[in-house]
Amino acid sequence: MGTQVSDDDHKNLYSKPPVDARTEEEKAIDAWLPITSSRNAKWWYSAFHNVTAMVGAGVLSLPYAMSQLGWGPGVTVMVISWIITLYTLWQMVEMHEMVPGKRFDRYHELGQHAFGEKRGLWIVVPQQLIVEVGVDIVYMVTGGKSLKKFHDLVTGDNGKEIKLTYFIMIFASVHFVLSHLPNFNSISGVSLAAAVMSLSYSTIAWAASVDKGVEKNVQYGYRSSTTAGTVFGFFGALGDVAFAYAGHNVVLEIQATIPSTPEKPSKIPMWRGVIVAYIVVALCYFPVAFIGFWMFGNSVDDNILITLNKPVWLIAMANMFVVIHVIGSYQIYAMPVFDMIETVLVKKLRFKPTWYLRFLSRNTYVAFTMFVGMTFPFFGGLLGFFGGFAFAPTTYFLPCIMWLAIYKPRKYSLSWSTNWVRWIIYNVVSYYLLLELLSRLKSSLVQFLMCKFQICIILGVLLMVIAPIGGLRQIIINAKTYKFYS
């Protein structure tokens, strides 16, 4: 699993000069692959890459998630998630260069070091692919819907009705071009524009909500009138929040682009960028979630910009900001997938690293996400489903588990205590959420379960399984009335 690392080992982590044991062929391949081809990024690249990766379409669904959770559980989940994910992100930044002379440039490489060569791949790669491909599919839908909303607002009642399918195709056409930028540093301009847009449309969302004021007869009670709807909505909302905080899947790949020396390891500029990014995250998430729910209550849509229709020019501009942002976000999450595909093609299948190989593989990926997005454009359900299924473990659990597996901190040391305190806090919060959920149900069996504190331990593990249930239910409900490519 791993070896114990003492404090002295940490101090001497960079005392030995790195030894490059790669062959010339391997060096040439690494210089071609998108993650390892460029290592000259600055700390502010880390800032806006992380903002672009995290503050995506998920922020617009947070008022809706609050309407499913309620004030108490909603505020608790939002704040605790911000704290826990910042801590687990710090762990990943620290683990990037834990072995002298080696950098874990990819999430699965760190997983292999923690769990073993084969086991690490099976644990990390499926979840990472679900996250990254899932995000790109959701962003295809989000980009198309935002373009359609912009068109409908600008043209008004005189505009011609255009199918959502066409708008998704228009959005995808941009990625057939941008996807051929070779690496992370080459998309830094796109990522910077996306980060600025995320802060802009988040500000518009909550400021326009304040300007509109509290809705008449606003209600903060349970959104659904049925017990089943309330329970499934609760599960789906947890997935929405997990989706919103899911930037960890690309953090090692972002750090891989930063230069590193024994005197100035990459974790120093990377962490500086992460702090700036998380301040921006707080400025985006908390006002949108809390003010949006405060103003509209449980009548808010799964995308708050849909709820807001006036002033028309401002909401139209916000939707265009969303389009620009998800263009950058799509590229951030697609780049590690491109790296995986090209690694398999070149290293395993022995194809030559050529421009036309990249052209075919990347266009195929963009076409696949476009096709799935056009076929299943269920925005709210997709967020909840993907959020719970894979975002929760890769963001909340895996970094902590890998830290314990690799470092094996001594009992009652600071590292050991911090990880277990985090785990206890998470389970206490999980228990609180469980009580809130169970209080919505009425049966003697439920009352008995409420007395069993042990269930909170089980819940901490099962959240990643039950959270997608609400999203899957929403997808099924929408599918009953949905017409393909309408």
Domain ranges of the chain: 37-481
pLDDT interval class at 450 (50, 70, 90): very low
Which pLDDT does position 286 carry in this prediction? 93
33-78 pLDDT, tens digit each: 888 888 888 888 889 898 988 887 678 889 988 888 888 888 888 8
Supply the DSSP string of 377-438, one letter for each residue.
--HHHHHHHHIIIIIHIIIIIHHHHHHHHHH-PPTTSHHHHHHHHHHHHHHHHHHHHHHHHH
**CA 148 to mean position of chain CA atoms:** 24
Homologous superfamily, domain 37-481: Amino acid/polyamine transporter I (1.20.1740.10)
Which pLDDT does position 289 carry in this prediction? 92
Looking at per-residue pLDDT, the higher value among 475 and 286 belongs to 286
C-beta atoms surrounding 328 within 10 Å: 29
What is residue 121's DSSP assignment? H
Please give the backbone phi and psi of residue 161, each rounded to the nearest 5 degrees, phi first.
Answer: -70, 125
User: How large is the average pLDDT for residues 104-120?
Assistant: 89
Comparing CA positions, the residue from 151, 485, 158, 159 lying closest to residue 323 is: 151
395-439 pLDDT, tens digit each: 777 787 788 788 776 665 655 556 555 555 555 555 555 555 555
Comparing CA positions, the residue from 484, 458, 50, 473 lying closest to residue 236 is: 473
Q: Which of 104-118, 298-312, 443-457 has the lowest mean pLDDT?
A: 443-457
User: How large is the average pLDDT for residues 281-285?
Assistant: 92
What is residue 200's DSSP assignment? H
C-beta atoms surrounding 219 within 10 Å: 12
Which stretches of 96-187 are DSSP H helices?
A: 107-115, 117-155, 164-178
Dihedral of alpha carbons 327, 318, 479, 169, sign: negative
Q: Which of 208-217, 227-236, 270-279, 474-483 has the lowest mean pLDDT?
A: 474-483
Length of the chain: 486
Largest CA distance in the chain: 72
Mean of per-residue pLDDT scores for the chain: 79
Asked if 188 and 41 count as a contact pair (C-beta separation under 8 A), the reply is yes
Please give the backbone phi and psi of residue 213, each rounded to the nearest 5 degrees, phi first.
Answer: 85, 170
Asked if the model's pLDDT at residue 5 lies above 80, the reply is no
Asked if the model's pLDDT at residue 9 lies above 70, the reply is no
Asked if the model's pLDDT at residue 464 lies above 70, the reply is no
Asked if the model's pLDDT at residue 148 lies above 80, the reply is yes
Report the first-to-last Cα separation within the chain, whole angstroms: 51
User: How large is the average pLDDT for residues 88-117?
Assistant: 88
User: How large is the average pLDDT for residues 192-203?
Assistant: 91
pTM of the model: 0.81
pLDDT interval class at 384 (50, 70, 90): low
Residues in contact with 26: Cβ distance below 8 Å, sequence separation at least 6, in sequence order: none
How many angstroms separate the CA atoms of 111 and 159, rounded?
Answer: 52
Torsion of CA 134, 138, 141, 143, to 10 degrees: -120
Q: Is the peptide bond before 311 cis (omega within 30 degrees of 0)?
A: yes
Which 3 state secondary structure label does DSSP give 86? helix
Which pLDDT does position 388 carry in this prediction? 60
Comparing CA positions, the residue from 393, 324, 404 lying closest to residue 130 is: 393
Which pLDDT does position 378 carry in this prediction? 66
Mean pLDDT is highest, among 190-194, 264-268, 362-366, 411-415, for 362-366
Asked if the model's pLDDT at residue 15 lies above 90, the reply is no
208-224 pLDDT, tens digit each: 888 888 888 888 877 76
Supply the DSSP string of 364-382, one letter for each residue.
HHHHHHHHHHHH---HHHH
Which pLDDT does position 70 carry in this prediction? 84
User: How large is the average pLDDT for residues 326-336?
Assistant: 93
pLDDT interval class at 20 (50, 70, 90): low
Structure tokens at 35: 């993650």
Structure tokens at 172: 């995808």
